[in-house]
Structure 1
Amino acid sequence: MLPKNSSNEATANRRALSLTSMYFNRFLLFRYVTAIFFFVNLYWAIVLFGSGSLVGLLPSILLLGTGGVMVEQVNKFWKQTNRLTFTRWFYWAQLIANLIVGLGVALGQLRVFYPFLNGTSLPWVLSMLGLGALISGFLEYRAFLIEHDKDRYVKHIQQFAANI
């Protein structure tokens, strides 16, 4: 049988780990959406470079941005901060890129940005770019709430921490 002190210490360690996990999970949506943007931008860059287009630099830059977001998100496990500096920068860049590409596509430049598509896919492309812009905007809003401790999840964390 373990000494009583050891049991209390184990319980405290479990609660501390639970609190750390709760802080880390506060950013879970960012990690999932960043993974989606990573693979979309990766595929887009591969296809553009495969067709010899220098426009492939745009998704490549966005790929570097997703890498930075991933590093910042992994650091959230060890550093319990609500600062999302690089994450916010990336989602602004993704939002602006989606809007610029959407405008270019709407103005007849579909073949520049998507040389593998034809005009019949224009509504689909515009809707996907619009969805990407909406998601980026939503994540910017979520990041703002988190940075100002106005998200719902922080209240659960504070209640749990108060009961430890």
Structure 2
Amino acid sequence: MTEKEKQELEQRRREHAITSLYYNRYLLVRYATALSLFLYLYWTLMLYLGKSPFYIMVLPLALLLFSGLSMWEMAKMYTREQPSPKVTISFYKVVLGTNFLVIALCLAQQSSLLFPLFRTSVTSLAIIIGGHLLASLGVIGILFRLKRIEAKQDKQFLRIKTYLSSIT
């Protein structure tokens, strides 16, 4: 390998490292989105197996499609010039609203419509409501993280700045 080829290889390695650092700013968001995609898939299957009417399955199906769009947007973020993840931010806002809607429906004794395979009992209601409250806290945390990333105030961005200053 000539000296020029070694320099080009080193330059490509640095560019790839920088791009990966930018991409990894959204690592938690990508994993949370993937988790939500599978949760909505299982929820849809549970409704289907419980022979629920289609109009009830629309909610998890819509969330499933929306999470797929969000994952697509996250996959396209492998670049140094990262646009604002508008679809992902909207997705998590919709998820937050959906969590509160599910909690309200459960409190109104309608949990059997949304979760037909669960028995209607105090324990199952507590699990459903508690799970959605915890999920809502996670969603709020992700929305705050996305806000910090957009404002370039996240820890990973500071690491990128440190790395860039060390190689120049």
TM interval, shorter chain, is over 0.9
Deviates further, 74-83 or 103-112: 74-83
Tell whether the 8 Å contact from 2:95 to 2:139 is kept in structure 1 after alignment: yes
SS of residue paired to 1:163: helix
Superposition TM-score, scaled by structure 2 size = 0.92
Instruction: Give the number of equivalent residue pairs.
Output: 163
Alpha-carbon displacement from aligned partner over 1:43-70 (angstroms, at most 9, x marks no partner): 1111213322321110111001111111
Q: From 150, 161, 167, give the equivalent of 1:158.
A: 161
Conserved? CA contact 1:82–1:146, under 8 Å: no
Name the structure 1 match of 2:78. 77
Gaps of 5+ in 1: none
Deviation at 1:162, TM superposition (A): 2.2
> What is the DSSP-based 3-state SS (H/G/I as helix, E as strand, rest coil) of the residue aligned with 1:149?
coil
Q: Show structure 2 runs of 5+ residues with no match.
A: none
Match of residue 44 from structure 1: 43
Q: Distance in 2 between matches of 1:68 and 1:140?
A: 17
Structure 1 stretches of 4+ moved >3 Å: none
Distance in 2, matches of 1:141 and 1:91, equals 11
Q: Distance in 2 between matches of 1:32 and 1:132?
A: 14
Q: 2:125 aligns with which of 112, 118, 122?
A: 122
Q: Which amino acid aligns with 2:32?
A: V
The one-letter code of the counterpart of 1:102 is I
Give the equivalent residue in structure 2 for 1:113.
Answer: 114
Give the equivalent residue in structure 1 for 2:8: 9
Identify the residue that residue 68 of structure 2 maps to in structure 1. 67
Percent pairwise identity: 28
8 Å contact kept, 2:19–2:80: no
Q: Which deviates more, 49-58 or 116-125? A: 49-58
TM-score of the pair, normalised by structure 1: 0.94
Letter aligned with residue 106 of structure 1: L
Shift of 1:86: 0.6
Deviations 1:3-35 (A, max 9, x none): 222212111111110001111111110111111
* 1:98 corresponds to: 99
Q: Which residue identity lines up with residue 160 of structure 2 in the other structure?
A: I
Task: Give per-residue Cα distances to partners, 1:121-164, cap 9 Å, x unaligned.
Answer: 11111111111111111111101111111111101011112223
Alpha-carbon shift at residue 82 of structure 1 (Å):
4.9
The residue type equivalent to 1:12 in the other structure is: Q
